[in-house]
Amino acid sequence: MSIIIVVTTLIISCNEKKTQNSRNDQNPLYLEASASVEDRIEDLMSRMTLEDKAAQMSQYVGMEHMRKALGDLSEEELDKNDAQGFYPGFKTTDIARLTREGKIGSFLHVLTAEEANELQELAQESPLKIPLLIGIDAIHGNAYYQGGATVYPTPITQAATFDDSLMVKASQQTAKEMRATGTQWTFTPNIDVLRDPRWGRTGETYGEDPFLVGNMGVAAIKGLQGDDFSGSDKVIACAKHLIAGSQSVNGLNASPTDVSKRTLFEMFLPPYRRAVQEANVFSIMAAHNEVNGMPGHMDEFMMTDLMRDRWGFKGFYVSDWNDISRIAKWHHVARDFKESVQFSVGAGMDMNMHGPYFQDYVVELVNEGKLSEERVNDAVYKILEAKFRLGLFENPFIDLESIKSKIFTEEHKQTALEQARKGVVLQKNNGFLPLKNVSGKKIFITGPNADNMTTLGDWTSPQPEDNYVTIKEGIDNLAEKYNYATDYYDCGQRSKWITDENIATAKQRAAQSDIIILVLGENSYRHDWKNKTTGENIDRATLALSGNQIKLANKLFELNKPVVVVYVSGSPIAEPWLEQRAKAVVNAWEPGAFGGQAVAEILTGEVNPSGKLPLTVPRSVGQLQMIYNHKPTAYIHKYNTEKKVPLHPFGFGLSFSKFEFSEPTVSKADFAGIDDTITVEVTVNNTSNVDGEEVVQMYVRDNRSSYTRPVKELKGYKRVFVKAGESKTVSIPITAESLAMYDKDFNFVVEPGDFTIMTGNSSADKDLKTTTISVKNGFTIEKVN
């Protein structure tokens, strides 16, 4: 009888559900904004076929991007070739049809707001009317394809500010500009910890320190997503790239990485753990590279065992560009694309960037029993959750008339300028800066990066000339105020263009001046591929200046006139000889739209420099690996022809002020347990007659540990403004995580013993003062599942 009752109950329940669904076919629950996100997803997924679900896991590039990739073809040729540049056998009309049929869930590289609306209109014609999730590489502002957007400094420049709150602010503004122009998902932040500056993507990172990278990454995610990315002014962030691509075996992007599990946990993974647990990042991108023989796009340990099961990642994974197919093509681990899909999705991958066939293979693999439909459901649930929480089901479109009022606003421009001002690092100054007594003087400006868009960095499209200030323009704009004259000579807009004739002319012109501003560096500008010398997929075999830049500098030094060198580059420049001869060296990194203004203000003293190096600058490529947080035995012996100290240490940066630091004091000497906090206090005294801002840095060393630990690790920092002749006391907390390490089983623990606390204004020993705290009884913060 009980069996009959159960069966009857199930039949009634199923009939009720069918009746309810039937009743809601015209007004389905998933389209009701008042219903909970969870109920809406459940209702929608109950209506989806396996093919519908696989389509949500598929991403394509925008149709205009496909056409643009083909170059300058006639209309007749476009009609014949159309999307062949991306998807052989597919025309843009086919992509439009697939969108209208609901067989594409996401797009990237949609070039205009108008196209975004057109694609969403196509999606609304599909049977289930599921809106599209549109992604873009808004790495430092939304200017990758959006002309007229605010171009913020690149991530390496943002990291040099050591200002987390400013990072949040810039990211909030980027999210607003993205939503205003039709995109809802950005493939940033890049929280790869930099370990080899030959890597062209150095400028896309936040530097070499896990704590700084983690702070900047968390700040970026919180700014972009807010608390839960709900609403019309938030977007989804994407932490990338999982993992360790910055320490490949040869410094080249996508090359193999071979590092220990301990290095992964200690150096590369901390920013990801924090991105998930502190910022609730909702998407993660896998890496091109393999790690210890395992391609990142099929690494089940990283994607599922660690990030999801141990650390609680609740969002979805997306592949990098074509990288699922490359499991077969590049890594030779799978037979073909279909088996690559099996390995990748089976390991935890949720969305394919980009193109056809992926969803067909997902369906086939499920029907063949090689992929579970539960794995597909998990992926689709999170993708749909993103679309619901973003509000796309209520309004997938944007108001084209309102775009101009929401991008490149005065507030956004001011933030970009402030980041540039705080990110510029003064690497050398023998007292020549700020420029003094320049009234009536002539300043000669030259160099390949003096008057072009290299200041905008890698992930930027050509911008309107009125929307950015070059170095030359910044110096020119202050000429009347300070009563100096300027002379500019274009010696070659790219380092590769500098000729002997250019150099001779530059020297002749410079001879007529009083001061020389020499703007050197590298070029990562994305829309100038043939002249790029760094950036994505343009890696460096040297850290020296490219082309004839040193030859140019040498000839100008022969004039025995004061030379100020300004670097514009996303990668560090290692030129000890050049820095020795220059009166001052200003590292502008890639300072964004208003970088020229910020540099000019620093040169003249209107702004006191306060940026700090987010990476160690080696003397040459031969010193690599050169990092401040090395292990104790790294420098037991010497090089036979090179010093073993860097050109500039991590955290270093000069000021026009002079700061003195007190010895650090601690609120107590013994750290009691997992919830305990010790406060470190440092007094900063400005002994100069110039108001200034300093970055107080706190490092920790575990004096004796079960596994070797770095000689020092950054665990806190704080910006402080101190007026001339005044002093301020800065407080920085030490928490359990400040002292933690991974034990033999990779539990996250604090071991008993003594810890040295170091405070100062760089990582160099000479700039640090110390005290000691103790942990009497060790404890565990996090155990392996």
Task: Give CA–CA dist 143/147, Å, rounded.
Answer: 6
pLDDT tens string 749-776: 999 999 999 999 999 999 999 999 999 9
Q: Which helix (H) or strand (E) holds 412?
A: helix 410-423
Q: Do 568 and 455 contact (CB within 8 A), yes or no? A: yes
Angle between helices 337-347 and 358-367 (to 10 degrees): 70
Amino acid code (one letter) for 29: L
> Would you place residue 657 in the very low, low, confident or very high pLDDT band (cuts 50, 70, 90)?
very high
Burial of 26 per CB tally in 10 Å (0-12, 13-18, 19+): exposed
Q: How much is the pLDDT for 565?
A: 98
Task: Give CA–CA dist 206/193, Å, rounded.
Answer: 7
pLDDT at 5 over 90: no
> Would you place residue 1 in the very low, low, confident or very high pLDDT band (cuts 50, 70, 90)?
very low
Q: Which helix (H) or strand (E) holds 442?
A: strand 442-446
Q: How much is the pLDDT for 10?
A: 36
Write down the H helix ranges in 226-324: 261-263, 270-277, 300
Mean pLDDT of 607-631: 97
Q: What does 642-670 look like in DSSP terms, one character per residue?
A: S-SS-SB-TT--B-SS-EEEPPPEES-SE
Q: How crowded is the C-beta side of 204, counted as CA atoms within 13 Å?
A: 31
Task: Give CA–CA dist 153/590, Å, rounded.
Answer: 6
Q: How much is the pLDDT for 70?
A: 57
pLDDT tens string 584-598: 999 999 999 999 999
User: What does the block give as tokens for 614?
Assistant: 């987010």
pLDDT tens string 380-422: 999 999 999 999 999 999 999 999 999 999 999 999 999 999 9
Q: How much is the pLDDT for 174?
A: 98
> Would you place residue 14 in the very low, low, confident or very high pLDDT band (cuts 50, 70, 90)?
very low
Longest Cα pair distance anywhere in the chain, in angstroms? 107
Name 566's bridge partners.
519, 586
Whole-angstrom Cα Rg for the chain: 28
User: What does the block give as tokens for 309?
Assistant: 């099961």
Q: How much is the pLDDT for 262?
A: 97
Q: How much is the pLDDT for 69?
A: 63
Q: Do 754 and 771 contact (CB within 8 A), yes or no? A: no
pLDDT tens string 130-142: 999 999 999 999 9
pLDDT at 179 over 70: yes
Q: How much is the pLDDT for 81?
A: 45
Task: Give CA–CA dist 483/480, Å, rounded.
Answer: 5
Task: Give CA–CA dist 192/210, Å, rounded.
Answer: 9
- Other CB atoms within 10 Å distance of the CB of residue 149: 26
pLDDT at 631 over 80: yes
- Other CB atoms within 10 Å distance of the CB of residue 52: 21
Q: How much is the pLDDT for 277?
A: 97
Q: How much is the pLDDT for 220?
A: 98
> Would you place residue 582 in the very low, low, confident or very high pLDDT band (cuts 50, 70, 90)?
very high
* Residue 611 or 355, more confident: 611
CA angle 293, 296, 300 (to 5 degrees): 90
Q: How much is the pLDDT for 25?
A: 76
CA-closest candidate to residue 364, choices 334, 342, 349 = 342
Write down the H helix ranges in 107-260: 113-124, 155-160, 164-180, 210-225
> Would you place residue 173 in the very low, low, confident or very high pLDDT band (cuts 50, 70, 90)?
very high
- Mean pLDDT taken over the chain: 93
Cβ-Cβ contacts under 8 Å for 141 (sequence gap 6 or more): 149, 150, 151, 152, 170, 174, 177, 416, 460, 592
Mean pLDDT of 687-693: 98
CA-closest candidate to residue 397, choices 721, 121, 197, 610 = 121
Cis ω for the linkage preceding 189 (within 30 of 0): yes
Mean pLDDT of 709-715: 98
User: What does the block give as tokens for 383?
Assistant: 């993708």
Measured CA to CA in angstroms, residue 744 lies from 37, 314, 325 at distances of 42, 28, 36
> Would you place residue 65 in the very low, low, confident or very high pLDDT band (cuts 50, 70, 90)?
confident
Mean pLDDT of 209-223: 98
pLDDT at 51 over 50: yes
pLDDT tens string 522-550: 999 888 888 999 999 899 999 999 999 99
Task: Give CA–CA dist 547/523, Å, rounded.
Answer: 11
Task: Give CA–CA dist 214/714, Å, rounded.
Answer: 11
Q: How much is the pLDDT for 406?
A: 95
Measured CA to CA in angstroms, residue 260 lies from 106, 291, 293, 751 at distances of 36, 9, 12, 21
Q: Do 486 and 510 contact (CB within 8 A), yes or no? A: no
Task: Give CA–CA dist 140/121, Å, rounded.
Answer: 29
Residue 617: DSSP 8-state: B
* pTM score of the predicted model: 0.94
Q: What does 119-163 look like in DSSP terms, one character per residue?
A: HHHHHHTSTT-PPPEEEE--SSSS-SS-TTS--PPPHHHHHHTT-
**With helix as H, strand as E and coil as C, how does 68-101 read?**
HHCCCCCHHHHHHHHHHHCCCCCCHHHHHHHHHC
- Other CB atoms within 10 Å distance of the CB of residue 728: 15
Write down the residue that tokens 């000479």 correspond to: 766
pLDDT tens string 713-744: 999 999 999 999 999 999 999 999 999 999 99
pLDDT tens string 341-351: 999 999 999 99
pLDDT tens string 224-242: 999 999 989 999 999 999 9
Task: Give CA–CA dist 586/599, Å, rounded.
Answer: 8
pLDDT at 222 over 60: yes
User: What does the block give as tokens for 673?
Assistant: 């347990």
Task: Give CA–CA dist 136/113, Å, rounded.
Answer: 12
Range in 82-96, 320-334, 615-629 with the lowest mean pLDDT: 82-96
CA-closest candidate to residue 611, choices 649, 652, 582, 576 = 652
Q: How much is the pLDDT for 72?
A: 45
Q: How much is the pLDDT for 71?
A: 53
Write down the residue that tokens 């990582």 correspond to: 763
Mean pLDDT of 154-164: 98
Q: How much is the pLDDT for 442?
A: 97
Pairing of strands 133-136, 185-186: parallel
Amino acid code (one letter) for 180: A
Residue 601: DSSP 8-state: H
Q: How much is the pLDDT for 19?
A: 37
Amino acid code (one letter) for 387: K
Mean pLDDT of 503-520: 97
